Amino acid sequence: MAGPALLSGVRVLNLASVGPAARAARWLSDYGADIITIGAVPARGAVQITPVFHAYSGHRGMRRALLDLKTDRGRETFLRLAEHADVVIESFRPGVVDRLGVGYEAVRDRNARIVYCSTTGFGQQGPYSQWAGHDLDYLAVGGYLAVGEPGARGNPALPGATLADSAGGGMHAVIAILAALVKGEGAYLDVSVADGVLSLMSLAVDEYLATGREPGYQHSMTSGRYACYATYPAADGRWLAVAAIEPKFWANFCRLLGLEQWIAHQTDDAVQDRIRADITEALAAKDRDTWTSILSGSNTCVAPILTVAETVEDPGYVSRGAFVDAVHPEHGDLRQSAPLLAGMLRPEPPVRLPAGTHSAEVLRESGFTAAEIEELLEEGTVA
């Protein structure tokens, strides 16, 4: 992307190190925001536990400051930093930031235009607000796990990726923050990952609310009822995804497989098992990549199911600059996902990833004197 980053000049104090809020911080950073991740000061002599390095792309474009928020001076230091920030992101359980003295009201008293984003699993209030949870729990209560094709034991199949954390939580937070920044008046944002999952499920939920029909497995086009929307193995044991929903794509698919007899029976429930069997037999004649060359560019809505190792070498992604070379002072040279979403800043490789902490630098930019910074470091309020 040419020109200045879209969020250049926006400063974010990020109190989250992992999970949906940390992903939101990474995306905001990729749009050019100045992200300052606030971590806890480790105990004297303790080994500091840090987030999984590669999971968040080495926190590229971010800086890190360590504060002891359990002390009066640590709280005051954070509030002074917040006076110069546009956004605060936190992911503690409801009530924790208020007990620490760095909640929305405390920050707003110092900075009325602050956008304060609290990201939790189930929201700030409600019967589940204090539940501990992870991605699978949010997908469970949002209905997502109930509508997919069951696993081998008849159980709801695991998704294999943290969809709730990424789309239900991280993107939910980013969208809300951007909307609040556009309005320009400051705001408190109660981002619930489970609410985000419910939004992702709106087609199924709205269908049920309108008709009373439960859109579970074997009910809808996209959850396994029809052979035209399914996965199939090829001769080499690798797999293809067939999503020929529209009749014209289904007809193309059937012709290329020599199964013209099934073109008029796409949604005939009585013969779906026979269609699946014939498709399985036909696709078993060639390997996955051969079928990809025959089908994928022929208006059939067929794509190869790639492993992660294959995905990172896939010419489609590589041609779009989806991966970038990076270098880290401690971890050395590595390759990582590039900023991907439309409008994100595309840095020139190699991307230089930050190391260590930037506490003194961040404090100095927020008006702390050299004497104050030295005192805070000496007493252990800042590290």
Which tens digits make up the pLDDT trace of 193-237? 999 999 999 988 998 999 998 876 656 788 788 999 999 999 999
Give me the mean pLDDT over the 267-283 stretch: 97
Asked if residue 127 has a cis previous peptide bond (ω within 30° of 0), the answer is: no
pLDDT digits (tens, 9 = 90+) for 318-356: 999 999 998 888 878 989 899 888 988 888 888 888 888
pLDDT digits (tens, 9 = 90+) for 160-179: 899 999 999 999 999 999 99
165 has catalytic annotation: yes
The DSSP H or E segment spanning 240 is strand 239-243
134 has catalytic annotation: yes
Query: What is the Cα–Cα distance from 149 to 137, expressed in whole angstroms?
Result: 18
Query: What is the Cα–Cα distance from 224 to 119, expressed in whole angstroms?
Result: 33
User: Which of the following is catalytic: 54, 72, 98, 134?
Assistant: 134
User: Which of the following is catalytic: 86, 135, 137, 165?
Assistant: 165
- What pLDDT is stored for residue 332 in this prediction? 87
> At 59, is the pLDDT very low, low, confident or very high (cuts 50, 70, 90)?
low
Query: What is the Cα–Cα distance from 203 to 58, expressed in whole angstroms?
Result: 36
pLDDT digits (tens, 9 = 90+) for 141-164: 999 998 877 777 778 888 889 999
pLDDT over 90 percentage in the chain: 76
The 3-state DSSP class for residue 64 equals: strand
Give me the mean pLDDT over the 373-383 stretch: 95
